[in-house]
Structure 1
């Protein structure tokens, strides 16, 4: 995923948590905030140490990045999106993760086709 599509700074994460809207399912929590004047969406990923060891956490982040890459053309533009993985995410395969992420984006009307 390109650098301009990432949220890296702690202040940007905190802003999304404080000022953004949230929605969750069993595996993932999504926070999103609209950013006027931004030409594309940005994502931030958070996988806590309670989920598992570094290998597990990195696998979850890799799956989420790949899912966002495949959904890139369908996501609405001026949003900052933060995804937090919950404990059941450690046992998921890629397609389950993508389905869960798509469900959250669909429910919160962050997909263009709605």
Structure 2
């Protein structure tokens, strides 16, 4: 298995995990996405990713493209996050699957995730 694999341990798979993230997580907004981020109590680092792409986003091909691009971004940048975070990504309705590329995902997620890391570091210093 490649070091860049994104296996099942790195995904949110069950409904209660998603619900926990929605209810107790912090909301972050980008132009095309909403991220629900919740810090886990577990000691193991790294993020677990969940995707919620509704049928309002389009047909199956469009929804799968969105999920594929978002997963690819997190797969490529997974070693930048040692925090135990659960992240649920929800695309906004204004996003068109055809316009979503890895470059657009990098442009939107990288500054936001840098901000999340900085906030986590600041909260660790306060403790």
Q: Could you tell me which residue of structure 1 aligns to residue 58 of structure 2? A: 52
- TM-score between the two structures when normalised by the length of structure 2: 0.80
Change beyond 3 A, Cα 1:79–1:103: same
**Per-residue deviation, residues 18-68 of structure 1 (Å, max 9, x unmatched):** 011011012010111111124131010111111111000000100000000
Within the candidate set 53, 61, 64, 2:67 is matched to 61
**1:48/1:74 CA distance change after superposition, 3 Å:** same
- Answering whether residue 35 of structure 2 is matched by residue 27 of structure 1, we say no
Shift of 1:70: 0.8
**Is the 1:20–1:32 Cα contact (8 Å) retained in structure 2?**
yes
Q: Deviations over 1:74-106 (max 9, x none)?
A: 123211111111123322222102221213212
- Structure whose alpha-carbon radius of gyration is higher: 2
- Which stretches in structure 1 are left out of the alignment for 5+ residues? none
- Asked if 1:37 is matched to 2:45, the reply is no
TM-score normalised over the length of structure 1: 0.88
CA RMSD of aligned residues (A): 2.2
| Structure 1 position 86 matched with structure 2 position 92 | yes
SS at match of 2:82: coil
**CA distance in structure 1 between the partners assigned to 2:88 and 2:57 by the alignment:** 17
Aligned length: 114
Aligned-pair CA distance for 1:112: 8.9
Runs (5+) with no aligned partner, structure 2? 1-5, 123-127
Q: Which runs of 4+ in 1 moved over 4 A?
A: 110-114
